[in-house]
Amino acid sequence: MKQKVTATVISQKEIAPAIYDMWIATDLAEQALPGQFICVYPKNKSTLLPRPISICEVAGDKKALRIVYRIAGQGTTEFSGYQAGESVEVLGTLGNGFPVAAGKGKKVFLMGGGIGVPPILQLAKELREEGLAKEEIQIVVGYRDSRMFLKEDLEQYGTVYVATEDGSFGTKGNVMNAIEENGISADVIFACGPMPMLRAIKQYAEEKDITAYISLEEHMACGVGACLGCVVKTKKADHHSHVHNARICTDGPVFEAAEVDI
């Protein structure tokens, strides 16, 4: 159940150029699922809309959430200046999450690109808790260059393969190039990243006849399904509106790749 609450900043640091890592104390952690997100409200009232940010990790005691975000504008610039002890208004938890049960007993790909990497961490953590071995959790992540983030965190839970656009670390190219170069395969895919990456993963999953779950990144306004500003075409018609659209913020952000037209 979503609710607006006042959270407290525990810590914050810059972990890559313009990429910030913040822990916040909030009871929302008790219900958080991998792949869900929260909306963070700027204190500057001229910034009208909250900013949707994916949940990166849940503390073991379920009392805190970790968010990792990129500075993209006025709101996130404000967030980057928050210090430990400051209060922050958040709405959560929002959206659906990755279906962890779909990976149980399987060999999986967890694929993240850019700021789509953070949601993969909590998923990897929970798949390990479900009994998957580290070698069964194949984490394929893509960055612009060697200034990576969360790589060491991810390595705690799975085998990490890296692609960089400039070839400065790992495979030169994208996550699909990394799969090919390392000769790896999987039974199920979980992915989050930019649309070109997700389109390539959807095509790959169709060719290999495997199930893929993709988390769609999209600019959101309200975050609760009211504004219809973040819709995606679907194969099936919505049973309420009878149109082939779904709202990413409420019906997603995670969809089975075969069910959406991207």
pLDDT value, residue 168: 98
Alpha-carbon distance of 190 to 102, in angstroms, equals 10
Alpha-carbon distance of 40 to 137, in angstroms, equals 31
pTM, two decimal places? 0.91
Alpha-carbon distance of 121 to 151, in angstroms, equals 9
State the architecture of 100-217 in CATH terms.
3-Layer(aba) Sandwich (3.40)
pLDDT value, residue 190: 98
CATH of domain 3-94: 2.40.30.10
Q: Spell out the long-range contacts of 28-32 with Cβ–Cβ below 8 A and sequence spacing 24 or more.
A: 28/3, 28/65, 28/90, 28/92, 28/93, 29/58, 29/59, 29/62, 29/63, 29/64, 29/65, 30/62, 30/63, 31/1, 31/93, 32/58, 32/65, 32/92, 32/93, 32/122
How is the chain split into domains, by residue range? 3-94, 100-217
Across the 262 residues of the chain, what is the mean pLDDT of every consecutive 10-residue run?
94 98 98 96 87 96 98 95 98 95 96 96 97 97 97 98 98 98 98 95 97 81 58 62 64 85 81
Alpha-carbon distance of 69 to 262, in angstroms, equals 24
